A and B are shown apart, each in its own frame.
Chain A
Amino acid sequence: MTASRLQMSAEHGDDSGKNDVYDVIISGGGMVGSAMACSLGMDPNLEGRKILLLEAGNKKVMDKVPENYSIRVSSISPGSATILSGIGAWEHITKMRCKPYKKMQVWDACSDALITFDKENLQDEMAYIVENDIIVAALTKQLDSLSDNVQVKYRSKVVKYAWPLPHQAADAIPWVKVTLASGETVQTKLLIGADGPNSMVRRELGIPTVKWNYDQSAVVAVLHLSEPTENNVAWQRFLPTGPIAMLPLSDTESSLVWSTSHRLAEELLELDEESFVDAINSAFVSLALTIKTAGSLFRGALSVIMPSAGSPRQLPPSVAGIGPKTRVMFPLGIGHASEYIRHRVALVGDAAHRVHPLAGQGANLGFGDVACLTQLVSQAAFDGKDLGAMQHLLQYETERQRHNLPMMAAIDLMKRLYSTNAAPAVLLRTFGLQATNMLPALKEQIVAFASK
């Protein structure tokens, strides 16, 4: 790559101010941005192209997996695992640390309604719980091996973007121009914005975004279980204040994600360890608060019609203590960019869409974006097209919006439905949940949709 770049700068010797023109620049080196860089770097149709990844933070190297678990984790669906495996990162992840789980139990605190998802006979994995740090470290390791095609600049914060006009005008720059904090400028034929929910790329483009903050924050921590167990079940209980989830990390540890009101979240952080552990345990096992009778009546009726449906109820493992890292809270919101693309720009990951963690889909939607955009850019390169042309970018936007919007709407609807203990809502969701639990075909559809 260096040889061709030198040749280029020699040819443009007298074009003073003509900077390096990259084929693709990815702004943001988080999980989705790094995955995008790996994905493009490994694509055979993009061989010989110049790809640059800009990350404001430091390089995250992980020579040895730290003994303690980190508190931010993601649920990686089989579809995402396939994508990560295609870019060579899944191998590193499994060598480092990840926990597959086979079953998911979701139930309501207000009425004891319950739904369980599992694959037949607990043979296959439903999904994997992986720490975010491990995902980034695995992707970084893979990027190191792609240094011929992909250049990564760490500690490079972007201060300014300049956008191209669609048609050549006098003295206008035809490419996207990126100015870094160091004063360096680079240009690119295609800019991919992977810079998170508060995306600067999206803001600078002036793309209208539908977003609002949920009146909720998530408290995350690492939990030590009272006794070692097979721990291959993900638990989520919908309390009136918000869902509490326990995700397996190992036989003895689990990750906590407790979404609740801001006030309660702050209170939880201030509790001492013992009280905090008590709060967690009671949140999972407390008796149903309101409508018990209606629920059990309905269940009785359903079991007459379909006697064999539905798995038996289980209780989550009890918690004895929390991990050495302190608990953290972060605010939750939802966001969706009305456009994912502009001329020579595309948004991926949280920059395009941000969801509530209750369904564990945020990272998966991002990896789905990566796979779709890579495939379209690769095909465009094979057809000799300008990589920043609108035609294939529009295809990306249409395909991903069609996939993401229903998922986001469903998650938002679930969040709203379960945020109240008003009787009608509780009845509705109780019946809905129990009926869904009894219909294996419907459950399979849901699992398939979430596993993409």
Chain B
Amino acid sequence: MYANKFGRFMLGLYSRKTATACGGLQSTAGRSGFSWTAVCKQRTLWLQRSACLNTRKNTVPCHVRARSASQTTVDPDEVRRFQSLASKWWDEQGEFAALHAMNDLRVPFIRDNLLNVHRVRHPGKPLRGLRILDVGCGGGLLTEPLGRLGANVLGIDPVGDSIGTAQLHSSIDPDLCERVCYRASTLEELAAEEDEAEEEQGAGQFDAVVASEVVEHLADLETFAFCCNQVLKLGGSLFITTINKTNVSYALGIVVAEQLLRIVPSGTHDWDKFISPVELERLLESNGFSVQSVQGMLYNPVSGAWSWTDSTAINYALHAVKVRDDPHTEQAGGSSPHPEDHHAAATHG
């Protein structure tokens, strides 16, 4: 996959973790944190886009792409590096233990809400026939369960190494490599492609977009919401899990989680980038979405398990549905497909 190598060359090695984490990534970049905005601003994206277009065709030959990536384009040194990263990403008791545990909440949340919207039942593969985009997929922790449930999933992440790791991990499972694809890309790039190919009827449209633990790392949420709207079908679902901007989330989410208990590597989160559910809802509704539900999540560091909770003070999950194509029109307050849900405030049981 060309996108892989170009991704790393163009974007440098932005990493979510600090210098203490991945040894292999030290050589090229010492920056911690990454910003979607900075990436967007690089107009040299054109080069990447042309490379991406060659490998654009989606679902059917997906497994071919995955196979060729792990066998011919990627050289052995890279494979070894991906494998060492894999042991970090895919160690359920390792650095990403909390993310692994979060699957217990977010997979049923996505699955059940999608099943409510799409009422066709396929026993054994509940999400069959649905196309899902996993934004900021990282090592594929959430992408794989969604693939196992029968959906065709495209995982994107600007960090090429994560994509390489994710591809390697899913390529060994014959069940997954038919349905799960990865691409080193940003959401803006993907949305721009969809724009180009709009004549191809619904060719690039997704039934659902998942942005789990991503929004708190973005600088430009307007663009993010706009792009989500672009790539979704009408009536498609947007799932976001993120952290609220409250005193409690500062105390527990940053001080305790990062510095004291080190549940998350230090420097991962920037409190200024957190967003409250009310604000996120306002943002989404002005971009053509209707928020269906918001639910609080709570992590128990002792048991290592997440649970649903009434309070959205720290972590929360949000489900919104695309109701309008044109995101720039001010909400007229008139007819809308889901008028009964506009009252949904911060917390929704």
Contact = CB atoms under 8 A, between A and B. Distances in A.
Interface string B52-88: 0000000000010000000000000001100100110
Interface residues of B, number: 32
Interface in A321-359: none
Contacts of A174: 172-173
B148 interface: yes
B23 interface: no
A8 B145 CA distance: 20
A47 interface: yes
Contacts of B108: 383
A383 B174 contact: no
B124 A47 contact: yes
B275 to A, nearest CB: 27
Interface stretch (A127-135, A165-173, A299-307): A165-173
Interface string B102-132: 0110011001000000000001111000000
B305 to A, nearest CB: 10
Interface in A397-412: none
A47 B126 CA distance: 11
Contacts of B274: none
A47 B146 contact: no
Contacts of A381: 124, 148
Interface stretch (A91-99, A101-109, A176-184, A384-392): A384-392
Contacts of B172: 168, 174
B149 A384 contact: yes
Contacts of B149: 382, 384
Contact of A11 (B80, B147, B178): B178
Contacts of A424: none
A389 B104 CA distance: 13
Contacts of B145: 383-385
Contacts of A45: 123-124
Nearest to A49: B124
B14 interface: no
B207 interface: no
Contacts of B326: none
A382 B126 contact: yes
Contacts of B91: 166-167
Leading 10 A-B pairs by shortest Cβ distance = A384-B145, A47-B124, A48-B124, A384-B148, A44-B123, A384-B149, A167-B87, A47-B123, A168-B86, A384-B107
Given A385-B145, A386-B144, 12 more contacts: A21-B174, A167-B87, A170-B79, A170-B83, A382-B149, A383-B103, A383-B104, A384-B146, A386-B148, A389-B92, A390-B92, A391-B92
Interface of B: 63, 79-80, 83, 86-87, 90-92, 103-104, 107-108, 111, 123-126, 144-149, 168-169, 172-175, 177-178
23 contacts: A11-B174, A21-B174, A44-B124, A45-B124, A47-B124, A48-B124, A49-B124, A167-B87, A167-B90, A168-B83, A168-B90, A168-B169, A170-B83, A382-B111, A383-B104, A384-B103, A384-B111, A384-B145, A384-B149, A385-B145, A385-B148, A386-B144, A390-B92
